[in-house]
A and B are shown apart, each in its own frame.
Chain A
Amino acid sequence: VKTGLTIAWLLLLASVPLWLDNLYVLHVLIITGIFIIAAMSLNLLLGYTGQLSLGHVAFFGIGAYTSSLTSLGFSVHLLPNWEVTASPKPVWLGMLLGTLLAGLCGWAIGRISFKVRGAYFVIVTVSFAEVIRLVALNWVELTQGPMALNNIPYLRLGIPGWFEISFLRKPANYWLVLAVAILSYIVIRRLVHSRAGRAMIALRENEPLAASIGVDVTRYLVLATVVSAAMAGAAGTLYAHYVRIVDPDVFLFIYTVTMVIMVVTGGKGTLAGPVVGGIIFGLLPETLRTFEIPPEVQWVVYGVLMILVVYFLPEGIVPALRNWWQGRQQQPSSDTIAAPAGGAAR
């Protein structure tokens, strides 16, 4: 029954462009999908290892910029008389490079900041994002600075002369984002249920104990950071070739906050949490916009919601619903059964 339900769900999601003829709504869904991928990647770190990356936009933006620059080509002076020129490359190569480079940055950040525990990782990631934003803003020769990278080519897949799929129109992009989202979901699911995933959860729950039974703590933390960063980078490449314009504003802190809110509200450390949170907070701004609420009020609402969620739904929506459901199913002995289930969901 469960697989049948999953397939029905996926078919419903995949069929959206076929019956939905409002292109604006489709656009909102695509952007929401991209954010859900980013939120899932953040959840791997925040939910499963307990480390908060507050610079996740950096990985997203590195993916976006790398992919755009690879497919546009560039020429920069690294030293006054040493010019490096790159000719335009195919988009798929750019997307691959963007993902890899984001993962590489995640590796470096993880190696440096996991030398110590505590708030360091948070602070290093948040500063890293700010520095990358400054680079994107100031290195005009490479990034065009505030003028933005324009006319980024869209993705084309296929064998020249035989057949070709172009991802210019919205339905094609929707399917692409959906496919990457499902792929990311599967990757995270497999990782979390693997030996590495169990090690991550063990060290989140009790690091000294995990270390004492031989879990190489730092190694798994770095591994989670690399996967998470690469996945956020992949989301960034999708964004770049869909919107086809990238400026330093992709590094704005508020996007990281959006991802954090999605994960925390949905339920960190659950597979479905970022998806549920992503759908709510991806569609909420558009709903608020129809009521003509100014963006500042919207952000105030976000901030207050975040505080309320920590107070009243500390586990997030998905675990809360799960507990409620289990409590209902085992009505007679709900107290004894639901309590350990709630504990296990942490």
Chain B
Amino acid sequence: MDQLLQHTLNALILGGTYALLGIGLTLIFGIMRVVNFAHGELYAFGAYMMYLWVMVLGANFYLALPLAVLLGAMLGAAIELVLLRRLRGADIDTTMLVMIGAWIAMQNTEQLVWSGIAKSINAPFPSSPLVVGSVSVSWNRLFVFVVALALIAATYAVINRTRLGKAMRATFQDRDTAALMGVEIGRIHTATFALGSGLAAAAGALLGPVFVVYPSMGDLASLKAFAIVILGGLGSIPGATIGGFILAFVEELGAGYISSGYRDAMGFLLIIIILLLKPTGLFAAKERIG
């Protein structure tokens, strides 16, 4: 029972960052119709920026975190402007191939710059965990959870309460009509990609100090983000949020009770089950045909 409680707590805490990854990917897919294979690279970028500021330049941890997120968002905006802007209206395969190219180029640039050796980031938290009853949680993970929840709430606020969010929702529903109503689609796309990338970078910057940072860390992050997004239904933000937590629970329980070696395979099993039972995802938004 205690073990189950501990697994549940771990899953809850991991789920926050998974949800960040999933929301970013689903936003980009829903609004831009781009299958962003470079999503995991933005996650790795966030983690490496934390490493750069905290470990190389000696900056304050709490200052480095928003800086890493901001840099991630800026990189995302740059990718949209340079690579995707002129492919607007191209079919989904074309943009996908471009993003795969970007993924390979980015990951190997990271490998060149930082070498393949895994790096760790020191976080300013006490090393003894917080113990409540029979379960314990490290202060670092607790911090990650709180910040992730705050970022999820902020994303919801941006999308539901601001003019930008309204324009994004309009673009999501019908791009052409939104454009006719005076929404500048180009700017919405840049903002969307920047927001999604910033969220991925935030997940990386938060988890970097918990785990270690290495060049191919983005691959698994991408795969998990895809699993979350399929789970929740492509393009659905609430779906991605809940999907993130579901994936975390399944992974944590699977690793705890079945086999830790297959932890990262759990996401795939979830995809298969979802496709067999409810192919449009748990919280499907209306899928645009065509």
Interface residues of A (CB under 8 A from B): 50, 52, 54, 112-113, 115-116, 118-120, 122-124, 126-128, 130-131, 134-135, 137-138, 253-254, 257, 260, 264, 294, 296-297, 299-300, 302-307, 310-311, 314
Contacts and interface: CB of A to CB of B under 8 A. Distances in A.
Contact of B111 (A138, A296, A302, A304): A296
B223 A299 contact: no
B40 to A, nearest CB: 11
Closest 4 CB pairs of A and B: A303-B105, A303-B104, A306-B101, A138-B261
B272 interface: yes
A87 B90 CA distance: 54
A306 B104 contact: yes
A275 to B, nearest CB: 20
A134 B265 CA distance: 7
B275 A310 contact: no
A128 B272 CA distance: 10
Contacts of A124: 271-272, 275
Contacts of B220: 130
B94 A310 contact: yes
Nearest to B111: A296
Nearest to B225: A123
11 contacts: A116-B275, A118-B92, A127-B226, A127-B227, A299-B108, A300-B109, A303-B103, A305-B101, A306-B98, A307-B101, A314-B94
A44 B272 CA distance: 24
Given A126-B226, A260-B100, A131 B35 contact: no
B96 A122 contact: yes
Contacts of B92: 118-119
A130 B265 contact: yes
Consensus secondary structure, chain A interface? helix
B264 to A, nearest CB: 6
Interface string B80-123: 00010000000011101110111111111101100000000000
A294 B98 contact: no
The main secondary structure of chain B at its interface with chain A is helix
B275 A112 contact: yes
A267 to B, nearest CB: 14
B104 A299 contact: yes
Given A123-B271, A264-B97, A297-B112, A303 B279 contact: no
Given A130-B265, A134-B261, A253-B219, A123 B104 contact: no
Nearest to B110: A296
Interface string B218-253: 011001001100100010000000000000000000
A122 B92 CA distance: 11
Nearest to A126: B223
A130 B94 CA distance: 23
B262 interface: yes
B276 interface: yes
Given A115-B275, A310-B97, A122 B35 contact: yes
Contacts of B265: 130-131, 134-135
B35 A304 contact: no
A135 to B, nearest CB: 8
Contacts of B127: none
A112 B265 CA distance: 17
B140 interface: no
Given A50-B93, A112-B275, A118-B92, A302 B234 contact: no
B268 interface: yes
